[in-house]
Amino acid sequence: MTLQEKIGQMTQAERSAVTSDPTQITGLGLGSVLSGGGSTPTPNTPSAWADMVDGFQKQALATRLHIPLLYGIDSVHGDNNLLGATIFPQNIGMGATRDPALVREEEHVTATETRATGPQWVFAACDCVVRDDRWGRTYESFGEDPKLVEEMETSIDGFQGTSPGDLARPDHVLATSKHFAGDGDTAYGSSTTGTYTLDQGVDITDWSHFSRIDLAPYVTAVQDHHVGAIMPSYSSVDWTEDGVGNPVKMSANKQLLTNVLKEKIGFKGFLISDWQAIEQLPGDYATQVRTAVNAGLDMFMEPYNAAQFEQTLISEVQAGRVPMSRIDDAVSRILRAKFELGLFEHPYTDRRNIGTIGSPAHRAVARRAAAESQVLLKNADHALPLKPSQKIYVAGGNADDIGNQAGGWTLTWQGSSGDTIPGTTILKGIEQDDPNVTFSEDASKPMNGYDVGVVVIGETPYAEGVGDVGNGHTLDLSATDQATVDKVCGAIRTCVVLDVAGRPQIITGELPKTDAFVASWLPGSEGEGVADVLFGKRPFTGKLPVSWPRSESQEPINVGDPHYDPLFPYGYGLTTRAVSH
Ligand code: GLC
């Protein structure tokens, strides 16, 4: 391989950048292309996806060495860029299920639907340990306890399989543990830009805490589950042992990327940078590239400047500032993954499973996941389960909004409210059990004569730092939600509230007005799974994956803290028995 061919393998461009000129893939010898959140072909159909990826693959195979292309995508709760894909509860809800086997099944379904449409590599699952629920990526975490996150690394098994040869099969993809490490453990308000961003912030920490809380899941991801790729975090680590004040970005952290992760823990896969993450490093672009490569990054998500990246790194190697041994190590890791995926033998999309996308069998798995993710926090006078004979009044902004119940990373990067994807809303699920339900989103319809009111409140979609508290969000209920709860719970004898949100909201003031309260998280496309537990078709079994604060000022609040006094503790959840109707 020439130096340019080697460095081409280390370069990843965005779909949109190469769509305008696919010959770039051949010209640059690109090793990979990605779809960022919401970067989809038109039309957004399974065959259009597979045709697009195969078109790029054709370009890659036209190079001198015919090295096949890796296509990466954020399938973080299903193949969520694809319209019609099965959309699962976000990870925080999957953490609430305490069901590792179900998480494995979820990711096997996701791998099947993803690979059938072309991408052979997912930037999932997040092995982040969320320690401050004000973080906009709280819902991407399985929870605040690293042991729970480790238990849910069956996600990697679901994605990759566990037997030799599984990765080459059409129902498996390469997985990525992210974001290494401590992305969910940043100090609030620490941002150097002065704004309160938790996302991409700074861990002010010591080795004992960092290794126990933030690093531990990566040891198991590598040593027990053999994850194929790892994505370093945008965040930084600032060691208190060295005297706070010297934060080092993960993408530049040779001690953690190479000495700890690759050499000590034994990671044999490859490190993929986050989106333009190296451009946050100190110095000019050549310094950023050199620092990141020498720190141990292997492939570079440089969505729109692949050519500049390649040229810069070639110059750095030729100037002797990046050793060829580092390039050879990176390329070997990347090529090994392509061999294990079977791409040299079968570079084009195996479409045999395209018919399973959004199938009843796949949706049944997501429906069970939605049901198991529900956490019952209060159930006075056995308000739940509901009985179909009851006269039910449903209200609230998240009762009939599938976009809100899916959350971010759904069709678009930030997600959006409304009737965005096929599936069932929570209201539609309730109506299947009791067609006589009255729905009034703002509770403006008369409420006399009803046995029970169900109010579905919560958040609207966001992703990453956009969702950070301090970036236009709080943990408080919206005024509209509070008003709807007050209205319905003030008028109807029995009142059940569901909170459809990516994280705990502050409910201390509203809770006493309710008879039952359910943490629904972001249940995905199968809202009828929520109705299943409301009507007792399935029992409530979910347990809190994060501590539920009394007030925002309690954050960060985590199990094991001294003076731990949440509204509901980590692991809390009432159970009910399934009832036959
Ligand atoms: C984003 C996220 C990362 C994602 C990547 C590609 O900024 O930080 O989780 O995999 O870019 O979309």
The CATH number covering residue 375 comes to 3.40.50.1700
Query: Is the CB of 275 within 6 Å of ligand 1?
Result: yes
310 and 363 share one domain: no
Please identify which residue in the block is written with the tokens 């809190």.
544
DSSP secondary structure of 296-308: T--BEE-TT-HHH
Of 314, 346, 378, the residue at which a domain comes to its end is 346
Residue 306's nearest CA partner among 38, 56, 50, 48 is 56
pLDDT by position in tens, the chain (length 581): 999 999 999 999 999 999 988 889 999 999 999 999 999 999 999 999 999 999 999 999 999 999 999 999 999 999 999 999 999 999 999 999 999 999 999 999 999 999 999 999 999 999 999 999 999 999 999 999 999 999 999 999 999 999 999 999 999 999 999 999 999 999 987 655 455 469 999 999 999 999 999 999 999 999 999 999 999 999 999 999 998 889 999 999 999 999 999 999 999 999 999 999 999 999 999 999 999 999 999 999 999 999 999 999 999 999 999 999 999 999 999 999 999 999 999 999 999 999 999 999 999 999 999 999 999 999 999 999 999 899 999 999 999 999 999 999 999 999 999 999 999 999 999 999 999 999 999 999 999 999 999 999 999 999 999 999 988 899 999 999 999 999 999 999 999 999 999 999 999 999 999 999 999 999 999 999 999 999 999 999 999 999 999 999 999 999 999 999 999 999 999 998 778 76
240, part of any domain? yes
Based on its alpha-carbon atoms, the radius of gyration of the chain, rounded to whole angstroms, reads 24
Query: Is the CB of 36 within 6 Å of ligand 1?
Result: yes
341 and 372 share one domain: no
Residues 7 and 460: their CA atoms lie apart, in Å, by 42
225 and 374 share one domain: no
578, part of any domain? no
177 and 137 share one domain: yes
301 and 174 share one domain: yes
Query: Is the CB of 178 within 6 Å of ligand 1?
Result: yes
Nearest CA to ligand 1 atom 8: 274
515 and 542 share one domain: yes
Q: Which helix (H) or strand (E) holds 494?
A: strand 494-500
- Count, residues in the chain: 581
Of 323, 346, 369, the residue at which a domain comes to its end is 346
Q: Is 464 one of the catalytic residues?
A: yes
567, part of any domain? no
395, part of any domain? yes
Distance between Cα 174 and ligand 1 center (Å): 16
369 and 334 share one domain: no
Pocket test for ligand 1, best of 121, 123, 276, 278 (most atoms within 8 A of CB): 123
Grouping H, G, I as helix, E, B as strand and the rest as coil, residue 359 is: coil
| Dihedral pair phi/psi, residue 59, rounded to 5° | -65, -40
Could you say which of 140, 464, 526, 528 is catalytic?
464
Domain at 27, CATH number:
3.20.20.300
22 and 167 share one domain: yes
Which tokens in the block code for residue 387? Answer: 């009985």
Which tokens in the block code for residue 271? Answer: 């490190």
Domain, as residue range, for 530 = 359-554
116 and 177 share one domain: yes
366 and 340 share one domain: no
Of 293, 312, 346, the residue at which a domain comes to its end is 346
Residues 426 and 401: their CA atoms lie apart, in Å, by 8
Number of domains observed in the structure of the chain:
2
Residues 399 and 394: their CA atoms lie apart, in Å, by 7
* Contact yes or no for 292/271 (Cβ under 8 A): no
327, part of any domain? yes
Nearest CA to ligand 1 atom 12: 36
CA angle 292/293/299 to nearest 5° reads 100
Query: Is the CB of 526 within 6 Å of ligand 1?
Result: no
388 and 274 share one domain: no
Query: Is the CB of 274 within 6 Å of ligand 1?
Result: yes
Distance between Cα 376 and ligand 1 center (Å): 32
Query: Is the CB of 37 within 6 Å of ligand 1?
Result: yes
Which tokens in the block code for residue 268? Answer: 């044999």
Residues 232 and 214: their CA atoms lie apart, in Å, by 12
Q: Is 274 one of the catalytic residues?
A: yes
336 and 383 share one domain: no
286, part of any domain? yes
Residues 373 and 535: their CA atoms lie apart, in Å, by 15
